[in-house]
C-alpha cells in the first residue's frame, strides 16, 4: 500500500496551494491560496490540535483519561476534538455566542461538551469565554488547558510544518504572505520561518476592523478600542503571547462587508468554499496589492471551509439582517 495513514491524525498537513485566476485577472499580480480547509478536520487548526496534545502528553500535563478544556471560536476545538477522539480524551469547549450553529453541532458530534458565552463582554468579565474556561478548568478533575493563545506549541507547529510546506511549494517565488491572527500562531510561525528563508518576503496581517492588533502594530497601544465584528476566529481584544508582531511588515484592516462579499465571490468565481476569515484575508491582499509597483506572487492562507457558515455567510436573510448584503 502507498500513501496510506495509520489514523486520521497522520493525514494532517501538506495542503495544496492553488492559483486564483479570476481574482488575479487585470490586477498585475498573481494571487495564490493555501487551502487549509483540506486538512482532515476541516481547518488549519488541525495542526495545532495535534501539536498541543502531543506536547502535553510528552510533558505529562495531559494524562490518560484526562479532559481537555479550551476557549475557542470553533476551529481549534474541532482540531483538538478530532485528535482527542483518536486518542481517547474528553473535551469541554467554551465558545462565544457568535460562533455558527454548524461549528457547535460538529463539536458535539465528536463527543465534546460545548458551553456558550456572550461575545459582547470584556475579556476580563467572568462571563467571557476565556474566563469561563478558566473556571471550568478549576472545577474539572484531571483536566488540561490547551491554552492556544499562550501555548508555545501553537506557533511552533506552524514553524515546523506550515512554513516549510509553503517554502517547498513556492520557495523564492512567494513575495508576500497574508493571514489573520486569532491566537497568532499561524502568522507568527509561518512568518518566522519564511523570514529566516528569505528576509525580503513580506508578512502581512489581515485584521478585522474592531480588533486591537492594527493599533498595537502601528501605535504600540490601543487607540480606538475593541468593537464587535462578524468575522469569526480572527482579530483580538487582548494580546495573546502567541502574537509575535516582530515578524510582520504590515497590517491591513478590513470591514465585515468587504470580507463577506469576497467570501461569496470566491465560491462563485473560483469554486472555493471557505469561511469569511479567508475572504477577509484575500480582500486585504487585494488592497495591499494596489501599493505594489511590480508584479508579485501573493499567497493567502485560507483557514477553514465555508460549510461551517451556511447559516450565516451563505444565508441571504442573515446577511441582510446584519447589513452585509
| Catalytic residue positions, numbered | 45
Check if the beta carbon of residue 163 is closer than 8 Å to that of residue 192.
Answer: yes
| Separation between Cα atoms, residue 38 and residue 35, nearest integer Å | 6
3-class state of residue 298 by DSSP:
strand
Query: Which of 303, 24, 101 is CA-nearest to residue 187?
Result: 303
* Spatial CB neighbours of 60, under 8 Å, sequence gap ≥ 6: none
Check if the beta carbon of residue 320 is closer than 8 Å to that of residue 54.
Answer: no
Half-sphere exposure of 87 (CA within 13 A, CB side): 25
| Separation between Cα atoms, residue 95 and residue 74, nearest integer Å | 7
Residue 272 φ/ψ, nearest 5 degrees: -115, 115
Residue 246: CB atoms within 10 Å? 9
Check if the beta carbon of residue 299 is closer than 8 Å to that of residue 17.
Answer: yes
Check if the beta carbon of residue 35 is closer than 8 Å to that of residue 301.
Answer: no
Give 146-201 as a DSSP string.
--TTT-THHHHHIIIIIHHHHHHHHGGG--EEEEE-SSSHHHHHHHHHHHHH-TTS
| Separation between Cα atoms, residue 4 and residue 1, nearest integer Å | 7
Beta strands in the chain (DSSP E): 17-19, 30-35, 67-71, 90-96, 113-117, 143-145, 176-180, 202-208, 250-254, 297-302
Amino acid at each position: 500500500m502507498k500513501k496510506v495513514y495509520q489514523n486520521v491524525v497522520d493525514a494532517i498537513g501538506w495542503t495544496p496551494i492553488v492559483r486564483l485566476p479570476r481574482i488575479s485577472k487585470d490586477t498585475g499580480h498573481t494571487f495564490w491560496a493555501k487551502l487549509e480547509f483540506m486538512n482532515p478536520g476541516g481547518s488549519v487548526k488541525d495542526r495545532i490540535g495535534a501539536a498541543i496534545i502531543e506536547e502535553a502528553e510528552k510533558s505529562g500535563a495531559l494524562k490518560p483519561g484526562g479532559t481537555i478544556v479550551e476557549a475557542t471560536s470553533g476551529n481549534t476545538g474541532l482540531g483538538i476534538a478530532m485528535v482527542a477522539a483518536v486518542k481517547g480524551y474528553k473535551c469541554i469547549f467554551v465558545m462565544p455566542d457568535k460562533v455558527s450553529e454548524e461549528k457547535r453541532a460538529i463539536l458535539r458530534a465528536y463527543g465534546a461538551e460545548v458551553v456558550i458565552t456572550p461575545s459582547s463582554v470584556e475579556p476580563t468579565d467572568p462571563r467571557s469565554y476565556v474566563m469561563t474556561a478558566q473556571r471550568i478548568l478549576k472545577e474539572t478533575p484531571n483536566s488540561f488547558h490547551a491554552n492556544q493563545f499562550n501555548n508555545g506549541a501553537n506557533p511552533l507547529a506552524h514553524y515546523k510544518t506550515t512554513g516549510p510546506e509553503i517554502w517547498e511549494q513556492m520557495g523564492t517565488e512567494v513575495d508576500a504572505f497574508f493571514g489573520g491572527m486569532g491566537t497568532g500562531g499561524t502568522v507568527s510561525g509561518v512568518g518566522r520561518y519564511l523570514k529566516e528563508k528569505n528576509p525580503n518576503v513580506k508578512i502581512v496581517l489581515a485584521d478585522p476592523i474592531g480588533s486591537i492588533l492594527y493599533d498595537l502594530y502601528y501605535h504600540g497601544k490601543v487607540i480606538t478600542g475593541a468593537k464587535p465584528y462578524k468575522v469569526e476566529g480572527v482579530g483580538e481584544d487582548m494580546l495573546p503571547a502567541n502574537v509575535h508582531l516582530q515578524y510582520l511588515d504590515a497590517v491591513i484592516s478590513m470591514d465585515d462587508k468587504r470580507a463577506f462579499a469576497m467570501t461569496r465571490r470566491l465560491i462563485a468565481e473560483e469554486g472555493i468554499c471557505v469561511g469569511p476569515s479567508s475572504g477577509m484575508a484575500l480582500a486585504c491582499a487585494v488592497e495591499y496589492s494596489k501599493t505594489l509597483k511590480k508584479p508579485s506572487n501573493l499567497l493567502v492562507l485560507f483557514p477553514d471551509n465555508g460549510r461551517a457558515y451556511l447559516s450565516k455567510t451563505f444565508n441571504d436573510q442573515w446577511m441582510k439582517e446584519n447589513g452585509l448584503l
